[in-house]
Structure 1
């Protein structure tokens, strides 16, 4: 019988004397957070660790992050998350992001790897203040092509809800259920690719900034996907979707795209390990 894993972690930041600091920190179960030392005190980086080594049926993981006023917070993961085969129950992952006024939060976990027979649901909820910036990056790998692994069947659902002043400004839903291998072959889904990524950038006071990045993003993506821009009042959002034949090829486009949308800043060091 599978021993279920549960974990919950929460982090809130504050700005004090020109430095972004930890205001509140909570860790329970298999969810842990580590904080690499940075020379730039104007931002904070948090690294998520799932000490269970992966997620399978019945597991529960909750992550909550708040970038306090005037803070820049980047959240990443120590390694790729793994969704393993589940016999019956569905694993559930909940992510809550809060970006207060004049703040910025970058959600940059490494790839989530789906294994044959996995069953998981993930939900991302984000609340943005005024003059707030949010970037969400979620890459998915269906098996590990370099190791000859494929995903025949499984179930994975992903739902995003982004709000500004309690108004929904973005909703996204992704569902793979049943014969995943067949779904990935469809031209309108992945055309045989086994690595995909969704990238969302939102700026509640700088629609013009994101709009100016649309064409550079499209040139960078090329035939590997597409990008679109929308403006809602003063809020701008840029959404990109990428498809590739494997994780390595996906990263060749994804990494420079993230850097473009993040003002040229390099990715967290964990991405290079």
Structure 2
């Protein structure tokens, strides 16, 4: 009998890295959470599902009837071939806040790319806050993320996604890599916000350009969909200062920020998010 090889040599099926390689172990995770409104008006858990490297924790938040959930990736980071999926729903009249436990790390991807899909569903008169902590890209990372949101009439949405290119304290630079990021937000079936970002090749060289980032390695995009954004615009601009800008138009407030380090970015991002949350503190995992 012929012994089977310990490693199977395959042709990589990823169009971005179609070359022979070794089949490595990959991580997969799926998490789903649904919030419902209790008879007393408080937001309660209705459904929780977790599989693979995806975990969802419900800390005691003492947030006046709001529900907070912390999302974890137990694999410790992502590389080529890893897949993560989050599906989150805020039922009618609920308030659901979701935060990542810590920064997500995108490691060098010898083959393929890591992929994350995020699905957010916000029902009538509900509010959902997606407050991801930093995504840190390492040199050679390949990553694709899709954020797809559906809002009913009267619903509001706050999305925060910070992105760091290398750890400045370690003198790291992301010289090459691939990043694809696409957001689609619909309200009552009508698109209200669509954006797409693609960076590939010599990322560090591109970030040095004055037309791109002027050397900034820390970036954040914040989106607030809801009429309250108009009243919050002026203060948001003051908090952001010369690190970026804020603009309210068409029922949404869009904020962009850049900084030379993750710490400098966070010092503006934390008070901005508290402001956009109506003064409510961020989940405790943000302070760790």
Count of residue correspondences: 265
Q: In structure 2, what is the Cα distance between the partners aligned to 1:188 and 1:226?
A: 15
Partner residue, 2:255: 240
Whose radius of gyration is greater, 1 or 2? 2
TM-score, reference length from structure 2: 0.90
Aligned to 1:97, what secondary structure does the other structure show? strand
The yes-or-no answer on 1:126 pairing with 2:128 is no
The yes-or-no answer on 1:163 pairing with 2:182 is no
Deviation, structure 1 residue 40:
3.5
What RMSD over aligned residues (CA atoms) do the two structures have, in Å?
1.0
Q: In structure 1, what is the Cα distance between the partners aligned to 2:63 and 2:269?
A: 25
1:89-238 matches, within 5 Å, as 89-203=112-226, 206=227, 209-231=228-250, 236-238=251-253
Deviation, structure 1 residue 41:
5.1
Q: In structure 2, what is the Cα distance between the partners aligned to 1:222 and 1:191?
A: 16
Q: Residue 39 of structure 1 is aligned with which of 41, 45, 62? A: 62
Deviation, structure 1 residue 176:
1.1
Q: Residue 251 of structure 1 is aligned with which of 241, 248, 266? A: 266
Aligned to 1:193, what secondary structure does the other structure show? coil
Unaligned runs of 5+ in 1: none
Deviating above 2 A after TM superposition, structure 1's stretches of 4 or more consecutive aligned residues are 38-41
Partner residue, 2:102: 79
Q: Residue 4 of structure 1 is aligned with which of 6, 11, 26? A: 26
Partner residue, 2:77: 54
Unaligned runs of 5+ in 2: 1-21
Deviation, structure 1 residue 219:
1.5
TM-score, reference length from structure 1: 0.95
CA contact (8 A) 2:94 2:125 kept: yes
